[in-house]
Structure 1
Amino acid sequence: MILEKKLAAKRLTEAYNNAKIEYFDNNSKYIFFSDCHRGDCTPSDEFAKNQNIFLFALEFYFNNGYTYVEVGDGDELWEHSNFKHIRLAHDEVYSLFKRFFDLNRLIMLYGNHNIQLKYKDFVESNYYKFYDDYNEEEIELFPGLTPYEAVVFKHKTTGQEILTVHGHQGDRMNDTLWHINMLSVRYFWRFLHSIGFINPASPVKNAEKIHKIERIYSSWIKKNKIMLICGHTHRPHFPKINELPYFNDGSCVRASGIQGIEIINGEIMLVEWKIGTDSSGDLHIKRRILRGPEPIETFDLRNNRID
């Protein structure tokens, strides 16, 4: 535990020191989603069941002026070595992403399952453009895209900072030993995954591992007095007042729907999009606020003492 805590603190500090700075104010609007794990629409693709919910939510955020922040593990590049298959399987998603990108409203972070995005050559070869087999021409997708390990959202007026990372930093098997874990997922766990088995190195169904990550990250928050948003564990979390400001946006692959974190009007909230019924029994996709909204400044540790 002590060694893991030191490793996580070191990796989080490195990520913070090298982060992209995104300045915002009380007029800014952001939606944070993570852990989509977009695959190729085969049985191992957990995202496929929620794709329509995701598209509906994304259309709402685009039409209402939000910036989309993908907090890692968007594309399932551990299971699928060829991004082309993922893009083709979820063409509508990437078409909508491009609309965000073209308006400079797309911020993409990489996680452990798409850590290949840290390499510029990989991004340039796969994400800048693609070849349209039908029309036999190259089409621009995200030319010049730069995925980040970390982004620090910094309030223009107050200077309050929010560190955003995927959350695998310091999780040894998913961070420093990711090559080994990726191979085991691609050639073994991928096939068991399709029938319901979970890789034991994943924190998703391991409550002890989830709580350990949360405790370790909370220690870093307390020491550095910086609010943090992450994913990775697939467990949504929104702190109560007087708790350390550790936020987790959940995932987009849960059976109940998709969770995310919104920042709007200087406030932060945890939301969920899911399919529900109305009084007539008709199915609708609905947005529900799970926790919040709370003013972001409430979680500013520079001015508040939170134990």
Structure 2
Amino acid sequence: MKLFNNHDKHPHLERLLNNSKSVSLGSDTRILILSDLHMGNGGRRDEFRRNAELVEGVLENYYLSEKYNLILNGDVEELFKFPLNDIVDTWRDIYELFLRFNENGFFYKTFGNHDASLQDEKEYILAPFLLESLKLLYGQESVLVFHGHQASVFLWETYPIVSRSIVWFLRYIAKPFGIRNFSIAYNSRRRFAIEKSIYDFSNQSKIVSVIGHTHRPLFESLSKVDYLRYRIEELCRAFPAAEAKEKKKIRNKISTLREELDACFRKGKQIGLRSGVYNNLTIPSVFNSGCAIGKRGITALEIDHEKIRLVYWYNGKQSRKFLSDRDSRPMQLPGTGYYRIVLNEDHLDYVFSRLHLLA
């Protein structure tokens, strides 16, 4: 019986790893990774419109001035529903802002399933910077940045008529009747299968993968629900040996974490989130920047001076608590109503050490 090797199981991901353009990370390199903007024509069915000012504001007033490089990791345009010319005409100022990041060092854009047709658009404003994937070299280690739909490429390559039918449906039926943005990523089972496939490939290849596509932020392969469970378990283990004063703090923190976890389940976030699917010890091989079309704000990944962090930006004050082992107090961007919170952060040395020890 033939045994499957890594190449047999993940040929498309293997191709990305072998053929990606490479960029070296220096000790002072700063990169913003943003995905899934789904930019439209500015009308009421344009999901990007809600956060457009927020995205433009933080790019221009924070990341550009702080000398970040920029990677847009796929599904920047919503070509399933809108013609490219309409999108570019509506958001031309933001496109010009994207291009300014090249002055900081580099700017790249990968394509996702919703903007894959841009490969054939020679006059596309971002064409010189368009890639399928990008490999960030950290010493001898690799961070592979790609949208993530390649893990479920079967539907799109084997049945192109299905892809064309979906585009037709979204443009001429879903759009007029107000049906939400449709993607294979919204199917919770397929979303999970995509993440699991990329997780397995990354562990076998001893690399870190940074994706988008599913709209679900992941830090070190953990979703928010996974992370809350992990922290509760960690605190429970620390409780018996703690001093009385520290026990009180732990008890209060566990209570707060449980409330947040319960809130996630009440909101339905347990759908598509499986426990114990990865390994008993989660390997930090997959990160996901989330999306820029959230109802309350946007999530993104930052690589900054050899650290990687998941951040959340929102417009205006929020009453809910944000849980983090770091300083979770919102940082206001001066002169704006925009706030930034670091949800999680680790050094890349730790990430790769854990990957090699556990994978």
The alignment status of 1:125 with 2:126, answered yes or no, reads no
Kindly provide the CA deviation profile for residues 82-136 of structure 1, in whole angstroms up to 9, marking residues without a partner as x. x2211111122112112123554311111111112333xx1x3222xxxxxxxxx
The verdict on how the C-alpha distance between 1:45 and 1:198 changes in structure 2, with shifts beyond 3 A counting, is closer
The alignment status of 1:233 with 2:231, answered yes or no, reads no
The alignment status of 1:289 with 2:287, answered yes or no, reads no
The verdict on how the C-alpha distance between 1:16 and 1:278 changes in structure 2, with shifts beyond 3 A counting, is closer
Q: Give the match for residue 258 of structure 2.
A: none
CA contact (8 A) 2:206 2:356 kept: no
Report the Cα offset of residue 184 of structure 1. 2.8
Q: Give the match for residue 138 of structure 1.
A: none
Q: What is the identity, as a one-letter code, of the residue corresponding to 2:288?
A: N
Report the Cα offset of residue 174 of structure 1. 5.6
Q: What is the identity, as a one-letter code, of the residue corresponding to 1:87?
A: V
Counterparts of 1:96 and 1:198 in 2: how far apart (Å)? 25
Report the Cα offset of residue 216 of structure 1. 1.0
CA contact (8 A) 1:151 1:163 kept: yes
Counterparts of 1:20 and 1:223 in 2: how far apart (Å)? 21
Report the Cα offset of residue 278 of structure 1. 7.8
Counterparts of 1:243 and 1:257 in 2: how far apart (Å)? 28
Matches within 5 A, 1:145-164: 145-155=128-138, 158-164=139-145
1:63 aligns to what SS in structure 2? coil
Matches within 5 A, 1:88-99: 88-99=89-100
Q: What is the identity, as a one-letter code, of the residue corresponding to 1:70?
A: L
The verdict on how the C-alpha distance between 1:99 and 1:62 changes in structure 2, with shifts beyond 3 A counting, is same
Report the Cα offset of residue 244 of structure 1. 3.3
Kindly provide the CA deviation profile for residues 253-305 of structure 1, in whole angstroms up to 9, marking residues without a partner as x. 111211110000100000111122289xxx8211111111x001212169731
Q: Which moved more, 1:168-177 or 1:39-48?
A: 168-177
Larger radius of gyration: 2
Q: CA RMSD in A?
A: 2.7
The verdict on how the C-alpha distance between 1:178 and 1:106 changes in structure 2, with shifts beyond 3 A counting, is farther
Q: What is the identity, as a one-letter code, of the residue corresponding to 2:85?
A: K
Q: TM-score, normalised by structure 2?
A: 0.71
Counterparts of 1:103 and 1:178 in 2: how far apart (Å)? 41
CA contact (8 A) 1:112 1:174 kept: no
Q: What is the identity, as a one-letter code, of the residue corresponding to 1:284?
A: G
Counterparts of 1:104 and 1:10 in 2: how far apart (Å)? 32
Matches within 5 A, 1:28-39: 28-39=29-40
The alignment status of 1:86 with 2:87, answered yes or no, reads yes
CA contact (8 A) 2:219 2:284 kept: no
Counterparts of 1:28 and 1:47 in 2: how far apart (Å)? 29
Report the Cα offset of residue 176 of structure 1. 1.5
Seq. identity, %? 25
Counterparts of 2:318 and 2:311 in 1: how far apart (Å)? 19
Q: TM-score, normalised by structure 1?
A: 0.82
The alignment status of 1:244 with 2:260, answered yes or no, reads no
The verdict on how the C-alpha distance between 1:93 and 1:159 changes in structure 2, with shifts beyond 3 A counting, is same
Q: What is the identity, as a one-letter code, of the residue corresponding to 1:270?
A: L
Counterparts of 1:192 and 1:149 in 2: how far apart (Å)? 28
The verdict on how the C-alpha distance between 1:274 and 1:195 changes in structure 2, with shifts beyond 3 A counting, is same
2:157 aligns to what SS in structure 1? coil
The alignment status of 1:44 with 2:42, answered yes or no, reads no
Q: Give the match for residue 260 of structure 1.
A: 300
Stretches of structure 2 that go unaligned for 5 or more consecutive residues are: 223-280, 320-335
Q: Which has the higher helix share?
A: 2
1:216 aligns to what SS in structure 2? helix
